[in-house]
Amino acid sequence: MKISVVLLAILLFLGCQSRMDNQNSSSNQKNTEMENEKSAIEKVLYAYRDALNASDTGKVLPLYTSNGVFMPSNAPTAVGQEQVKAAYDFVFSNIQLKIEFFIDEIETHGDFAFARTTSKGTTLIHATGQTVPEENRELFVLRKENGSWKIDRYMFNKMK
């Protein structure tokens, strides 16, 4: 009888241990997947920074979804690739940015994510040749399109 109770206790303990190991393994897998998603989003954000610093509309457009929306401060909203292209062409014809991005937050929810960033640097105004400080906060809404994270909605405003 005592042996049966001891064996039963051991079996229960091993069963619980196995279940806890499975839960830990599942939790670790989810954490790894989440970190991989965040890393992919960081790459998009840094590629966007690089495209801005290069004043290269051709590098900006592939970072947006096919129906992406660009909502610049003090300018009309651009919707879709054609309008987004025209908006960035206009921006880059008027200024040259030299900025760094600082990622404050990334949250993922299925095929959607948002990122909160700040940027700081300088802007060269082509019309005057004047270089002025540049400091913004940004909100990116990203969406997976064909398996890749892309900018779906982007808005920024001046911090000062």
Check: CB of residue 44 under 8 Å from CB of residue 150: yes
Q: Identify the band that residue 73 occupies on the pLDDT scale cut at 50, 70 and 90.
A: confident
pLDDT band at 28, cuts 50/70/90?
A: confident
* Residues paired with residue 157 on neighbouring β-strands, in sequence order: 137
The hierarchical CATH code for the domain 2-158 is: 3.10.450.50
How do residues 148-159 score in pLDDT, each as one tens digit? 999 999 999 998
Higher local confidence (pLDDT), 160 or 68: 68
- Per-position DSSP letters for 62-100, written without gaps between them: GGEEEEEEEE-TTS--EEHHHHHHHHHHHHHHHEEEEEE
Predicted confidence (pLDDT) per residue in 50-64, tens digit: 999 999 999 999 999
Indicate whether this model's pTM tops 0.85. Answer: no
Mean pLDDT for all residues in the chain: 89
